[in-house]
Every structure is written in C-alpha cells, then in structure tokens.
Structure 1
Amino acid sequence: MTYLEPWGPIRDSISLRDAMDRLLEDSVITPAKISTAGMPKIDIKEKKDSVVIKAELPGVAEEDVEVEIADSVMTISGEKKTEKEEEKEGYYYKESHTGAFSRSFTLPSEVKAEKANAEMDGGILTITVPKVEARTPKKIAVKKKTK
C-alpha cells in the first residue's frame, strides 16, 4: 500500500548544495562542448516524405561547402576562409572560428541521396532529401499442394 504525503515547501525544495552543484555543472566545459566548438550547428527535421537538414554556416560561401551522403550518413564539410591579415589586427576578443570543418551524422530514415537538394541563403544551408517510400509487404497466397 502506498501512502500519500502532503506537500511541504521546505521538505520539497532543493538544497543549497544541490543548487550550487547544478550551477557549477552548467558552467564547466565538457569534452562534448569542446568537440562541437567551431562546428556548424545542425537541425534535422523528419517530415512525411523527406528529411530536412539546416546548418548554420555564417560567413561560408556556397562554393566552399560540400555535402555527401553515404548509406544513411550525411557529411557536411567546408571551409570558412580567414580574413586578410590586415583585417585581423586590432582584435581585443575574437570568438568566430575560421578554417576547415566537417560534421557527420546519421539520418533518421532511408533516403534517396541522388534526389537531394541543397540551397544556401543568408548563411543557412538547407538540405532536403526525399525519403524512400515505405516498402509494403507482399502477400503470397497459400495453396494446397497438388499431387
């Protein structure tokens, strides 16, 4: 038998130690955060008949981007070119990344890679890949064996 206990604001509130642990946990740089530093941010959306991928590529020209699909793995790679040397001088602080990048990820469905479409607009790369039609099972009639 389970007993219900009345709610109590003091008993149910988190302790100061738990709050500090959460605060410090969120501020520590983890290997996962480091591994995606400088990499394009990716959104993958599965629609009824396609998979749509959006990648943030500010400052990257479309001719410097490559998209490949092998099996169900998509790779977006390219290069954000560095500024001319004279434009680099005088920075007090600089967070923007330059150089080569590559992101690979597994697509959520089987797709028709040869029918993929990629467009760049305002620093956003949008890739639309049609899904393979669902295979419908074929029914086979069972007959009595003739002698």
Structure 2
Amino acid sequence: MVAALSSLLVRLTSQRWLWWLGGGIWGVVLFTLSSRSRLPTGPEIPFQDKIVHFLYFSGGGFCFALALFLPQVPLRGRWVWLAAGAAFGAVIGAVDEYHQTFTPGRSGNDLGDWLADFTGASTGALVAWVFLAWIRRQNGKSPA
C-alpha cells in the first residue's frame, strides 16, 4: 500500500505540465478574487488578511518553483529556489496589489499584503525544494 502510494506520488510529481497547470489555475483564481469587491468573511482572526495572502502565495510559489526547476538533475541549491520564489512573489504580488486599485471597494497597494505575498511565495518555493529532495531520496536519486 505504502509502496503503491509512493510510486503514484513520484509519477505525479514528475509531471512538469501538472505544475504549470496548477500555477495557471492559481493565477486565474487570484485574478478572479482580486476582481471581487467583497470577499467571503469568516471568523475574525488577528492579521487574517496577511495570513491568507501568505498561505495563498505559498501555493503559487510551490507550483511555480516545481514547474520551473523539476527536470533538473542534480537539484539546484535551495537558495536558487528561494530566489525564484521571491521574484515570483514580488512581481505577481505587486501586479495583484496594483490590480486591486481598479476594483471598487478594494484599496490595493498595501505594503503589508505585498510582503505577505513575497514571503509566502518564497516559503512555498523552499517547501517545494524540500518536497522534491524528499521525493528523489525516496526514489533512490540524490537530491543534490
């Protein structure tokens, strides 16, 4: 059972197009949410907005990094993945914040949101490196 699950995980992880698709869907959802004047509300948590930005952008950074670096053998260093995630978060986060300035009821250009986007994408890319290194070790390939 564990071997079959591990084999399935290795096969799914090795499909680069799947990560590009995930990143594309992530981008469409981001654009859609940023275009809405009102977002669904939930329980009030301190800094909830920043937490949501961080978590959402970590998913984008994860998909982007895997799509970009997946075929590399040996695996590039963590700092390269971190830098790619940081660049992704900085650019897409800035574009998203700018886009929100044109959405009625939204403020946009929030430095705190942008920092959460930036750090979230950087963290997501780093988690992707750890994930792929673990998958490659499980599959008998050296991660570095």
Give the structure-1-normalised TM-score.
Answer: 0.26
TM-score by length of 2: 0.27
| Structure that is richer in strand per residue | 1
Mark the structure with the bigger radius of gyration.
1
Higher relative contact order (CA 8 A, sep 6+): 2
